[in-house]
Structure 1
Amino acid sequence: MSPAARPTAAPPCRPRPLRRPVRAIIGIALLLLGAATGVFAGDADAPRALVLFPEKDVYREAADEILRYLRQHGDRVESIPLPAGDGDAQQRALERCRAERPALIITGGTALTADALREIPDVNVLFFMVPNAADAPFLEASGPHRNRVAGVSSDVAPSEQIEWVRHSAPRTRRLTLFYSERTRRTAEALDAAVRAAGVESVLVAARVDRFAEATDAAVHNGSDGVIMIPDSQIYNAASIQHLLLWGVREKRPVWAFSDKAVKAGAFAGIYADAGGVGRRCGELAVQMLAGKPPAEIGVVDCHTPQRAVNLHTAALIGISADDARRVPNVEVFGDKP
């Protein structure tokens, strides 16, 4: 065979270099795949739930129980305490939530819950220690966030409140409930429970700068006592002191919403157990992380309340506190000179 007819070896096959636009598209796709599947080590350790709460003892106690419960169940969770009045710290926490997009955001208190719902769309929110939940704007039936929020309020169930009233002062026949527009629905729910228990109830609109008018109304309507509803439009240090002195002067019991008020002179009180609220919130968080919709949970009242009675005040207003002090775990004040 002549040299001209001899076959020549084909040149080695070399892959063509990818054009820059193609390389860029593939690179972006790999990044998105890594983010979605948790390829990066940091994603594997990212918390599934973030707990945001004001740095106050009552929120801290509840948050610690939430963290403990979730960690016992193997969920990755991290807490972010927020110093009181530090708007920048709150904004940084919310920005982190937006960036990390955890499966669940857990918030303490009304204001922080409202901010989280407004600023972090499409992430479920579970709240704890929200007072007067029936009046919370973000729980309006027609509200834009209603289907992605649930939680545990700091409200004691109305039925338990009236049960404590009847146990601690069995002769009570008529009660006054002070309310403002901020707590109207909460007062109406309590009013319904009081009436269902066979006790008369009178709703009296009140405000902090004209509080004496409210206590005058309680005298005129023949009230046997007052159940306090936590409301900053009604109660501050001065109005609470006025009510407690009124109760002693008129010999009418006042049932307070905190142990501090009972210690200061209220006849008795029933209020949320922060640890119990945290444990219940932890249970709900596990359910939501497992896929349970917030709408199926709704709002849960505190069903592990704490109770207190002031023996000194009881003696001053002429009511026996013997039955009340025998209740298990009741906190007793006024028993020492």
Structure 2
Amino acid sequence: MKSQMLSGDMVKKIFILVTVFLISPPTDVFSEQETIPVIFSLNLDAYHNTFDGFKNILDENKTPAQIYKFDMAKDTPDAILSWIQNNKPPLVFTVGTRALKFAKENVTDIPIVFGAVLDPAALKCANITGVSMDIPVDIMLAEIERIFPDRKKIGVLYSPKTAHLYKELQQNCEKKNFQLISRMVKVGGELPDALKEISWRIDFLLMIPDPDIYFAKSIEYLLIEGLKKRFIVVGLSSFYTKAGALVSFECDYRDLGNQAGALALRLLNGESPAATGFLRPRKLRTSFNLITAERLGIKIHRSFIKEASDVFEE
């Protein structure tokens, strides 16, 4: 048998082919790069900050995933659902309550991670995990005690729908030695009478997220009564502080997004949503209205003002 000698040109071509094969990633690596849909309930800064935190965690961990954004204020439900069905992403990230409700009703076979949702217990499902906007009550009470150490009487109005939030507040007030003075309000129209009954006995009126009680007119009434009866309104966000509440506590949306991103990584690594559960924010932001403080004759220590995320003084 005669041996066949390879020419110099042939050896060179084989060397180039082998080298290209070794240094080029196989084609299935790129096919593994999934696209994660992000569904926004609305075009809000808070929601975009949540997304930024989520994306930051994926980027830090070099997760091979692209992002495809949907906005429920512009994109139709059919278009969003069609994209999800056609692309079969490894998970869906929703921001805000409306987006989570949509995903829960229409996406049952793909894990859902949510962020920036108030009181999501009613939306619990086997394929859903995420981070709510509900600030842990013990953390909020600790901040109230730190800023206003001599005031211990907390008023709260709640409806049947938020009775579970009231019970949680009640348990934590007992631990912190706060006196809780409350009234159940079935409809918003009952708020003035309920507030009249407790306003003379309280240092604070702590708002809880309850749209049955708090809407534009009732909030306006509450803020005016706070100035008249000289109690501190503790709002739900800087929006309320700007409107006249002396102080508000809210979640740090970017850090909330970081928490949601960490949950997404766990799902991408094989954990089930049921195993991760629902989380609450681990950081909060504080805002003050110094005009309201002055009208109430309350001095906020400079150190707290310096720590605050927002301060309204004109």
TM-score, normalised to structure 2's length? 0.83
Contact 1:51-1:77 at 8 Å conserved across structures? no
Root-mean-square deviation (Å) = 2.3
- Give the partner amino acid of 1:103: P
Structure exhibiting the larger radius of gyration computed from Cα positions: 1
Gaps of 5+ in 2: 1-25
CA distance in 1, matches of 2:70, 2:144: 36
Deviation at 1:246, TM superposition (A): 0.7
1:94 to 56, 81, 89: 81
Q: Distance in 1 between matches of 2:27 and 2:160?
A: 52
Equivalent residue number for residue 188 of structure 2:
208
Deviations 1:72-93 (A, max 9, x none): 3232031323142x5x623311
Contact 2:37 2:70 in 1 (8 A): no
Structure 1 residues 94 and 194: alpha-carbon distance in aligned structure 2, compared to 1, 3 A threshold: farther
SS in 2 for 1:302: coil
**In 2 relative to 1, CA 40–292 (structure 1 residues): closer, same or farther, beyond 3 Å?**
closer
The CA deviation at 1:230 is 2.1
Alignment of 1:123-138 (within 5 A): 123-133=110-120, 136-138=121-123
The residue type equivalent to 1:129 in the other structure is A
1:68 is matched with: 56
- Equivalent positions of 1:267-278 (< 5 A) are 267-278=246-257
Aligned counterparts of 2:150 and 2:235: Cα–Cα separation in 1: 18
Q: Which residue of 2 aligns with 1:78?
A: 67
Where in structure 2 are the equivalents of 1:134-173 lying within 5 Å? 136-139=121-124, 145=125, 147-173=126-152
Give deviations 1:227-268, integer Å, cap 9, x for gaps: 111222221222111111111100100111111211221111
Residues 1-337 of structure 1 mapped to structure 2, 5 A cutoff: 43-47=31-35, 49-54=36-41, 55-75=43-63, 76-84=65-73, 86=74, 89-133=76-120, 136-139=121-124, 145=125, 147-206=126-185, 207-219=187-199, 222-322=201-301, 325-326=304-305, 328-334=307-313, 336=314
Give 1:43 shift. 4.7
Share of identical aligned residues, percent? Answer: 23
Q: Deviations over 1:121-175 (max 9, x none)?
A: 2211111001123xx3122xxxxx2x32111111111111111211222222221
**Distance (Å, rounded) in 1 between the aligned partners of 2:130 and 2:257:** 10
Three-state SS of the structure 2 residue aligned to 1:50 is strand
Closer, same or farther in 2 for the Cα pair 1:188/1:79, shift >3 Å?
farther
Contact kept, 8 Å, 2:70 with 2:80, in 1: the verdict is no
Q: Equivalents in 1 of 2:68, 2:49: separation in Å?
A: 12
Q: Is the 8 A contact 1:107 1:125 kept in 2?
A: yes
How far does residue 323 in structure 1 lie from its aligned partner after superposition?
A: 6.1
Aligned residues: 286
Over 3 Å counting, the alpha-carbon distance change for 1:181 and 1:95 in structure 2 is farther
2:156–2:206 CA contact under 8 A, matched in 1 = yes
Q: What is the TM-score of this pair, normalised by structure 1? A: 0.78
Residues 85-113 of structure 1 deviation map (CA, whole Å, 9 limit, x = unaligned): x5x62331122212222111111122321
Q: Write the distance in 2 (CA, Å) between the matches of 1:288 and 1:197.
A: 37
2:155–2:180 CA contact under 8 A, matched in 1: yes
Give the number of the structure with larger relative contact order, counting CA–CA contacts within 8 Å between residues 6 or more apart.
2
Give secondary structure in 2 for the equivalent of 1:282.
helix
Structure 1 portions without partners, runs of 5+: 1-37, 140-144
What SS does the corresponding residue of 1:156 show, helix, strand or coil? Answer: coil
